[in-house]
Structures are given as structure tokens and as C-alpha cells.
Amino acid sequence: MTDQGQIPIKIELYGIGTLKGQIKRHLSPFSADAIINKMPIILRGRFSFGSKKYWTLPGIKIYKGLNNKSVSEVKEGDIVYNPKTDELIIIIEALEMSNKVNIVGKVMSNLELLLKARNGLNTKILRV
């Protein structure tokens, strides 16, 4: 039986492989619930401009704001929602974001597969 606070997900990178992760509702309940309700999510991903520090899925269209646990420092493997730009982001290496973001989950395995991806690659996020 799965804990309702931690929802297992998989992130499919078409033609490359699959990442396993979790949505952790207690970190940002409104953003996490909005993301869960939109699944399966299929968007074209891309890297941040000029570097491979994070994989971003712009235009998720959930429009949830900051909460009291929002942070600007993120760690490797974090899945975050950026309310300022309305995008879901998978962090590849620890960094400080330019604005505060809502951490909504964590990638548990195969994070290194993202380094093989190209900009514009279809990415699908779904519940397991």
C-alpha cells in the first residue's frame, strides 16, 4: 500500500529511457495536487540556457503560487514547480534558482539519463 503523501511516478524520455521518482505532497500540497490531477503530462523538455543544470518542461498550466516552504536553493534530483514561469523543472545538479520555487518531488533513479537528452525531446510524466 502506498502512502498518500508520496505518489510514485515515472518520467519517460522518448527514445532514451525512464526515470523513477515520487511526488511528495507534504512539501507543496497545492502545486503537487495540481500536477497529479494533470497527469499524464506530455511536454517538450529542454535544458536551461547554455548549461545542463536542469531539465525544464515549460507551459504546464497549473498556475499555483508560492507557499511557506518555497526555496531558492535546490538539490540534485529535486522536482520543482516554478510559479513565476509556470514550468516543471528536474534539477540535475545543485544550484540556486533566480527566484523561489516549490519543491514537489524527487527523482529516485536514472537521473543521468537526462544528460543524453536533446532540447525539444518529448517527456511524459505519469503515475505508476
For the chain, how many structural domains are there in total?
A: 1
Residue 45 lies in a domain: yes
Residue 54 lies in a domain: yes
Residue 1 lies in a domain: no
b/e 103-128 (16+ beta carbons within 10 angstroms → b): bbbbbeebbebbeebeeebebebeee
pTM: 0.93
Q: Is pLDDT at 1 greater than 60 in this prediction?
A: no
Mean pLDDT of the chain: 92
Residue partners of 37: CB distance under 8 A and separation at least 6: none
Q: How confident is the model at residue 4 (pLDDT cuts 50, 70, 90)?
A: confident
- The domain in which residue 115 lies consists of 6-127
Q: Is pLDDT at 2 greater than 70 in this prediction?
A: no
Tell me the per-residue pLDDT of 49-105, one tens digit each, with 9 for 90 and over. 778 899 999 999 998 888 888 999 999 999 999 999 999 999 999 999 999 999 999
